[in-house]
Amino acid sequence: MVKLLKSIKRKLPFIWRFIEFLNGIIVLAFYSRPIKMAVIDSFKPAVRLNYRYRQLMLSDLPHLECMLAAQSAGFDSFFKPHGFDLKTLKRLYKNPSFLMFGAFDNEKIVGYFFLRFFANRTAFRGKMVDSKYQRKGIAKEMGYIMTDIAFKAGFRLYATISKFNYGSMASSEAVNEIHIIKKLPDNYMYIEYGKIAKC
């Protein structure tokens, strides 16, 4: 299923957008309340490691676009879950099954992470940290938050990670027990996040 969805997303974007739209309607109808309550509860400790973490607002999106555009060439070799232009960010923001979050240094966005919920009670996660703020524990903290939200909302949590993306795998293993479900094309792995490994 994951392989099929990734293929549709890459080769037939108009069909993928319809799937996104339909999935968003179902998630909104059946799961919006538990997801909303999980988000509220997970962000109660708003400041961690001197950085703030919260759900993004519409007004944050231009700043997110600038942060993503400012990264060095090739940063998206392992992280390209969607387009980084403002139009795409706004489209995703409007979809109730796609939640966007940020890590902030004062008012500056220094990390971006998201959860994509599906109608079959599965969720997929993604994250990246501004190159100037890496190795400060931000990615790990974002991992805790995404795990907390997904599990409290009653969803199983998954991701696809390149076996060469050592940093992402290391930060994942620092937070969760990792279960490799299968190997995907182009050296990617389909993984499920188990219980929190340690705090």
Q: Tell me the domains of the chain and their CATH numbers.
A: 2-160 (3.40.630.30)
- Do residues 177 and 151 touch, judged by C-beta distance below 8 A? no
Residue 197 has pLDDT above 80, yes or no: no
Residue 132 has pLDDT above 80, yes or no: yes
What pLDDT, on a 0 to 100 scale, did the predictor assign at position 49?
A: 67
What is the pLDDT, as a whole number, of residue 187?
Answer: 85
Rounded Cα–Cα distance for residues 144 and 163 (Å): 21
> Could you tell me the pLDDT band of residue 47, with boundaries at 50, 70 and 90?
low
Q: What's the whole-number mean pLDDT along residues 151-158?
A: 97
Q: HSE-up of 5 (CA within 13 Å, CB side)?
A: 13
In angstroms, rounded to a whole number, what is the distance separating the alpha carbons of residues 129 and 68?
A: 9
Going by C-alpha positions, the residue among 103, 98, 2, 92 that lies closest to residue 43 is 103
Q: What is the pLDDT of residue 149?
A: 96
- Kindly report the pTM of this predicted structure: 0.89
> For residue 15, what pLDDT is reported?
83
CA-closest candidate to residue 171, choices 181, 153, 159: 159
pLDDT band, residue 157 (cuts 50/70/90) = very high
pLDDT score recorded for residue 48? 66
Buried residues in 46-70 as b, exposed as e (16+ CB within 10 A): eebeebbbeebeeebbeebbebbee
AA identity, residue 188: Y
Over the range 87-112, which residues count as b (16 or more CB within 10 Å of their CB) and which as e? eebebbbebbbbbbbbbbbeeebbbb
